[in-house]
């Protein structure tokens, strides 16, 4: 890859999303991206940042909630003031990624941004980086490029990308046109997608010229676009925070998929690089079981610092940072999440139901543990 092209690249890490299905580990004050969920020693956001360094150096912007400022800077001390976008309140992905695009555009209209969520697990890094390089090459031809994940099962938890014809891009041998983005399917449809072979999971990874992102954003969400550009105009001047406080609260709340990706695909402006790396969005505690090896002797996966987990004829996942003894007896595929103020006991099979539980606890006013 020529250095000139790579010099245009700027990483963006939207770090939002509590990770409700990982409650009570993840919660408003300690969202998923601030946890080490793979036993790697790194939080997910730190691992995401480090994955981008070989491509972007420290040209990486982070978009997160104001409340997470201290925690994020503790994880990413390299992030400069102008590359740390602090949202006064959650406004969904179009505002977060759109603002990053707008700020980067004002800094340099030739920038190619690469947006990667802060809470995904990707291995091996080298394979990911090859895909991003292909995506940068493809983006430079005037495309919004998503990196789609080769499905390994007929998942109903993800949206899909329907890939079209191969493109002919120097430096991007696997690039393909995108026909459309499709919503999370039912199980039969998902099975069809898997059999078809032409569908990829939408992992929300976008590599694109900021100018093209903004063009589509302006077309489909003009009010949002205008607000974001006004904030971007003030970004490097003194009244950044005042402008943010004034404009942000009234911005429309929508997803980048609706605001940019889908209309851009319809306009023939989207390409995809099939990602052949291992990818996991750590969507629930079953994923934590997959991503962490079980103890050889016990069959139980322990995430956290405790060495005081005892099991007898038991399998499953224990997440704990306490010093408590945890004993599991005669219970299988169990999920136990032990935090100082909340305890979850469920099974891997029911890992997705945790989200409903959090909703119910919210309705019952148990905000102190959410």
Nearer to a second copy, 70 or 363 (CB): 363
Q: Which of 188, 242, 295, 312 binds a second copy (CB under 8 A)?
A: 312
What are the two backbone dihedrals, phi and then psi, of residue 97, each rounded to the nearest 5 degrees? Answer: -75, -35
Nearer to a second copy, 3 or 329 (CB): 329
What's the closest the beta carbon of residue 325 comes to a second copy, in angstroms? 4
CA pseudo-torsion sign 235, 236, 242, 243: negative
305 binds a second copy (CB under 8 A): no
366 binds a second copy (CB under 8 A): yes
Nearer to a second copy, 236 or 312 (CB): 312
350 binds a second copy (CB under 8 A): yes
- For strands 199-209 and 176-182, give the pairing: unpaired
Q: Which of 11, 16, 24, 148 binds a second copy (CB under 8 A)?
A: 24
What's the closest the beta carbon of residue 71 comes to a second copy, in angstroms? 23
- Distance separating alpha carbons of residues 120 and 182, to the nearest angstrom: 21
- Distance separating alpha carbons of residues 10 and 56, to the nearest angstrom: 6
323 binds a second copy (CB under 8 A): yes
Query: How many residues belong to the site for a second copy (CB under 8 A)?
Result: 36
183 binds a second copy (CB under 8 A): no
Nearer to a second copy, 141 or 156 (CB): 156
325 binds a second copy (CB under 8 A): yes
330 binds a second copy (CB under 8 A): yes
Q: Which of 170, 308, 317, 319 binds a second copy (CB under 8 A)?
A: 308
On whether the CB atoms of residues 21 and 12 are closer than 8 A, the answer is: no
Q: Binding segment for a second copy among 26-34, 168-176, 213-221, 341-349 (CB under 8 A)? A: 341-349
- For strands 60-65 and 84-87, give the pairing: parallel
361 binds a second copy (CB under 8 A): yes
349 binds a second copy (CB under 8 A): yes
On whether the CB atoms of residues 253 and 95 are closer than 8 A, the answer is: yes
315 binds a second copy (CB under 8 A): no
353 binds a second copy (CB under 8 A): yes
Assigned token pair, 334:
């169990």
**Alpha-carbon distance values, 61 to 22, 49, 104, 162, 235 (Å):** 26, 10, 9, 29, 13
329 binds a second copy (CB under 8 A): yes
Assigned token pair, 23:
């409650």
- Distance separating alpha carbons of residues 153 and 286, to the nearest angstrom: 15
- For strands 112-115 and 121-123, give the pairing: unpaired
Q: Which of 89, 152, 305, 313 binds a second copy (CB under 8 A)?
A: 313
357 binds a second copy (CB under 8 A): yes
369 binds a second copy (CB under 8 A): yes
Beta strands in 60-143, from DSSP E residues, in sequence order: 60-65, 84-87, 112-115, 121-123
On whether the CB atoms of residues 117 and 13 are closer than 8 A, the answer is: yes
- Distance separating alpha carbons of residues 56 and 14, to the nearest angstrom: 16
CA pseudo-torsion sign 288, 294, 300, 301: negative
Nearer to a second copy, 94 or 354 (CB): 354
Name residue 27's beta-bridge partners: 30
Residues making contact with a second copy (CB under 8 A): 24, 308, 310, 312-313, 323-331, 334, 336, 338, 340-347, 349-350, 353-354, 356-357, 360-361, 364, 366, 369
């Amino acid at each position: 890859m020529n250095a000139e092209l790579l010099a245009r690249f700027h990483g963006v890490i939207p770090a939002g999303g509590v990770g409700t299905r990982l409650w009570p580990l993840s919660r408003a004050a300690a969202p998923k991206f601030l946890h080490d969920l793979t036993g790697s020693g790194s939080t997910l956001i730190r691992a995401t940042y480090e994955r981008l360094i070989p491509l972007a150096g420290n040209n990486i912007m982070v978009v997160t909630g104001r409340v997470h400022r201290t925690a994020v800077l503790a994880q990413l001390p390299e992030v400069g003031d102008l590359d740390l976008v602090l949202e006064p309140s959650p406004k969904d992905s179009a505002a977060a990624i759109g603002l990053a695009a707008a700020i980067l555009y004002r800094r340099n209209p030739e920038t190619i941004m690469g947006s990667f969520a802060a809470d995904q697990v990707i291995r091996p890094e080298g394979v990911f980086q090859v895909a991003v390089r292909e995506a940068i090459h493809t983006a430079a031809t005037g495309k919004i490029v998503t990196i789609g994940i080769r499905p390994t099962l007929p998942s109903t938890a993800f949206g899909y990308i329907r890939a079209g014809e191969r493109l002919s891009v120097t430096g991007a041998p696997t690039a393909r046109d995108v026909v459309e983005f499709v919503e999370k399917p039912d199980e039969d449809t998902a099975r069809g997608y898997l059999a078809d072979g032409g569908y990829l999971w939408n992992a929300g990874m976008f590599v694109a010229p900021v100018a093209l992102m903004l063009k589509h954003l302006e077309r489909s969400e003009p009010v949002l676009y205008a607000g974001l550009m006004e904030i971007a105009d003030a970004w490097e001047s003194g009244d950044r925070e005042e402008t943010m406080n004034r404009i942000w609260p009234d911005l429309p709340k929508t997803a980048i998929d609706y605001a940019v990706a889908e209309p851009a695909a319809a306009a023939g402006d989207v390409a995809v690089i099939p990602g052949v790396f291992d990818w996991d969005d750590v969507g629930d505690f079953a994923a934590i079981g997959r991503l962490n090896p079980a103890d050889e002797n016990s069959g139980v996966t322990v995430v956290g610092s405790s060495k005081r987990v005892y099991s007898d004829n038991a399998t499953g996942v224990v997440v704990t940072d306490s010093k408590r003894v945890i004993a599991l007896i005669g219970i299988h595929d169990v999920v136990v999440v032990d935090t100082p103020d909340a305890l979850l006991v469920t099974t891997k099979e029911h890992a997705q139901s945790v989200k409903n539980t959090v909703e119910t606890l919210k309705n019952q006013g148990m905000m102190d543990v959410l």
